[in-house]
């Protein structure tokens, strides 16, 4: 089941890179940039995480939290954050519960082989936990700026 703009965002409870449980309701009253990515320490995912980290001050000023979700473990997220000095929160979803709720765990294909994986997707959730914007099949270059621009536009109302 994929999420749709205007719908309530599906609830989740996942552990962050420090092993602390976090849930959607922890972000109530704030904007949430929830981005789903395939794998820690791969080139596109690393670039995306670094780009979001560099833009954190901009998102903070707009009262928005930035949270990445992948099927990697808490330990993998710890290493990823440490290695690249990331300032964003990363949530581990090894059971793929949130990935499936948000409709980003999909059949993919590379070199003719089919496999299940995360379709790089960003979901913008408003302070009332409603989905306001969805970016499916994200291309990393310029993506963070596009998200920040859309957030600024939506906040103006």
Residues 6+ apart with CB under 8 A from 91: 12, 14, 15, 16, 22, 67, 68, 69, 77, 98
Catalytic residue check, 81: no
Q: Which residues neighbour 86 within 8 Å (Cβ) at sequence distance 6 or greater?
A: 49, 50, 53, 80
Q: Taking Cα atoms as reference points, which of 102, 101, 129, 96 lies closest to residue 25? A: 129
Q: How many CB atoms lie within 10 A of CB 3?
A: 19
26 within 8 A of 32, measured Cβ to Cβ: no
Stated length of the chain:
157
- Catalytic choice (3, 24, 32, 45): 45
- Tokens read off for 85: 């000095």
Catalytic residue numbers read 45
């Amino acid at each position: 089941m994929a999420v749709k703009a205007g719908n309530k965002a599906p609830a989740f409870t996942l552990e962050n890179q420090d092993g602390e449980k976090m849930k959607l309701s922890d972000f109530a009253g704030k904007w949430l940039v929830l981005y789903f990515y395939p794998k820690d320490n791969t080139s596109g995912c690393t670039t995306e995480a670094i780009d979001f980290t560099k833009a954190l001050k901009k998102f903070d000023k707009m009262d928005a939290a930035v949270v990445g979700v992948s099927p990697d473990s808490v330990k993998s997220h710890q290493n990823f954050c440490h290695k690249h000095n990331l300032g964003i929160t990363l949530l581990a979803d090894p059971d793929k519960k949130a990935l499936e709720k948000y409709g980003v765990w999909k059949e993919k294909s590379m070199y003719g082989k089919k496999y299940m994986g995360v379709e790089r997707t960003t979901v913008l959730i408003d302070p009332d936990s409603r989905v306001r914007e969805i970016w499916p099949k994200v291309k990393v270059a310029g993506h963070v700026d596009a998200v920040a621009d859309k957030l600024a536009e939506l906040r103006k109302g």
